[in-house]
Amino acid sequence: MAFRGRETMDFRFTEEQEMTAGVVRDLLADLCQPADLRRLMESGDARDANRWEKISEMGLAGALVGEEIGGLGLRPVDFVLVAEACGYACLPEPLVENAGIALPLLASLTQTGTTRFVVERALAGEITVALGHSANPFIADADTAGALLIERDSALHLVSPGDVHLSLQPSIDPFRRLFTAEGGLSEATRVAGNDEAAAKLASALDRGALFTAAQLLGIAQRCVDLAVAYARERQQFGKPIGTYQAVKHQLATAQVKIEFARPVLYAAAATIDHADRYSRARISHAKLVASEAADVAARTAIQVHGAMGYSWEVDVHFFLKRAIALTNWWGGPAFHRGRIAERVLNGELGPEHTFTHAAADA
C-alpha cells in the first residue's frame, strides 16, 4: 500500500505522506517535550513506557516491511517525514532505528522459522530489533531489544541479547544507549550468508544515512525554533534581542542552511530505491548538509541563548548532543564525501542530469 505519487515530476509529498507525519508530529508534541525528556532522564529508565506504547500502537513498526509478511509496504519516502519529526522531538526511543532500518532488513532476508518469529513479534510491537552494522562501531539500544541482528564477516546473525556479552559505551547524549557485543555468534545464529547479505546491508546503510539525515534536519529546525522563541522574549538593552541584526542574521543564516538541505533530503528519499551511484550520492549529500545545518543551528541557538545555552536549564543542549552523535552515525562526513566524490568524478554532470539514475532512459 505504498503511498503513490502523481505519476509525473512532482516534488510534493502526497496527502497520505503528510498525514502520517502529522500524526507522529502531534503525538510527539504531546508526549515528547523537553520536560518529558528531563523526566525520563531523572527516572533512569531506557524508555518512556507510555510514550513507546502509544508509538507502537500507531503500527509504524512494520512501515517499511513488505505487505506479504504483514508490514505496511511503504517506501522510504513515505517514512522520511516521520524520521524528521523524531529528530525535531529528540525522541529517545528507537522508532527510526527499529522500524526504519533494522526491521525491514530482517524482513527482507530469506525467512526461516526463527526470523519469521522475530519479525512477527516485532511487527506486533512486542519487541524491537537492534542492528549491529559495520557502518557503526556500536549497536544502539541493544539492551532493550528483543533480538540483535549483527553483521560479522559480511554475514548476518540473529541472536538474543542474552546470548552475547554487551558492554555499555556511554554517550554524551543521555538517551543514546550504545553497546559493543562480543561472543554468541556461530553457524547456528547465521541468518544470511555473504551473498545474500551484501546488497541488503548496503540498502540498510542507505536507509540509515537517509533517516539519520532526516533526524538531523529536524534537530536543526528545532534549534532555530527554540532560539527564535527565546529571542522574541529575552530583553537586552531595553528591547528583545531578536530585534538586533546580529541575532537576526545568524538565525537567518541557519535557516538558509536548513532550506537547502531539505529538498536534498526529500529527493534522496524519493530516489533511494535506485540503489546506484546517483541515489547514493544524493543520500550522502543529504547526510552531510543536514549534519552541517544541525551543527550551525545548534551553535547559533546556544549563542542566542547567551549563557543560558550552556546550562541544563534550557533545552538546546539535548539537541546539540544528539546532533554531535548523529553526525557520525551511519557514516561520518569522510565516508559520505567519498561517495559524493565517486559520483561527481565518475558520473554524468550537468543540468540535464539532476534526476539521472542508472536505469533511466532520459
Partner 1 sequence: MDLTYSPDQKRFRHEVRSWMEAHVPSLPLPSFDASREGFEAHREWERTLSQGRWGMVTWPETYGGRGLDLIQWLIFEEEYYRAGAPLRVNQNGIFLLGPTLMEYGTPEQKARFLTAMASGDEIWAQAWSEPQAGSDLAAVKSSAVRDGDDYVLKGHKIWSSRAVFADWAFGLFRTDPASQRHKGLSLVFFPLDAPGVRVQPIAQIDGETGFAEIFLEDVRVPAFNRLGGEGEGWTICMATAGFERGLMLRSPARFQVAARKLVDLYKAHEHEVEPSVREAVLRSWMDTEAYALSIYSTASRLAAGGHIGAEASTNKIFWSEMDIALHKAALSILGARAELLRSAPEAGDIGRWLDGYFFSLAGPIYAGSNEIQRNIIAERMLGLPRA
Binding site for its own copies (CB under 8 A): 244-246, 249
Least Å from the CB of residue 170 to partner 1: 4
Close Cβ partners of 220 (under 8 Å, ≥ 6 residues apart) = 254, 257, 258, 261, 290, 293, 294, 296, 297, 298, 323
Q: Which stretch binds partner 1 (CB under 8 A): 24-32, 89-97, 100-108, 327-335?
A: 327-335
Nine cell digits for residue 107:
524482513
**Which residues in 256-315 contact partner 1 (CB under 8 A)?**
256, 259-264, 266-267, 269-271, 285, 288-289, 299, 302-303, 306-307, 309-313
Residue 220 interacts with partner 1 (CB under 8 A): yes or no: no
The number of C-alpha atoms within 13 Å of 362 and in the hemisphere containing its C-beta is: 10
Residue 251 interacts with partner 1 (CB under 8 A): yes or no: yes
Q: Count of residues binding partner 1 (CB under 8 A)?
A: 94
Do the Cβ atoms of 318 and 90 come closer than 8 Å?
Answer: yes
**139/197 Cα distance (integer angstroms):** 18
Residue 8 interacts with partner 1 (CB under 8 A): yes or no: yes
Nine cell digits for residue 55:
508509538
Residue 110 interacts with partner 1 (CB under 8 A): yes or no: no
Contact partner, 167, from partner 1, its own copies, none, Cβ < 5-8 Å per class: partner 1
> Which of 138, 140, 137 has the alpha carbon at shortest distance from 129?
140
Q: How far is it between the farthest Cα atoms of the chain?
A: 71
Comparison of 45 and 313: residue with beta carbon closer to partner 1: 313
Residues 132-151, one symbol each (x = binds partner 1 by CB under 8 A, - = not), give ----xxx-------------
Comparison of 220 and 288: residue with beta carbon closer to partner 1: 288
> Which of 117, 127, 119, 71 has the alpha carbon at shortest distance from 94?
127
> In the beta sheet, which residues pair with residue 147?
129
Do the Cβ atoms of 281 and 343 come closer than 8 Å?
Answer: yes
> In the beta sheet, which residues pair with residue 192?
156
Least Å from the CB of residue 299 to its own copies: 16
Q: Which stretch binds partner 1 (CB under 8 A): 10-18, 29-37, 99-107, 145-153?
A: 10-18
**Which residues in 329-348 contact partner 1 (CB under 8 A)?**
329, 332-334, 337, 340-341, 344-345
Q: 266 phi and psi, to 5 degrees? A: -70, -40
Comparison of 111 and 328: residue with beta carbon closer to partner 1: 328
Residue 39 interacts with partner 1 (CB under 8 A): yes or no: no
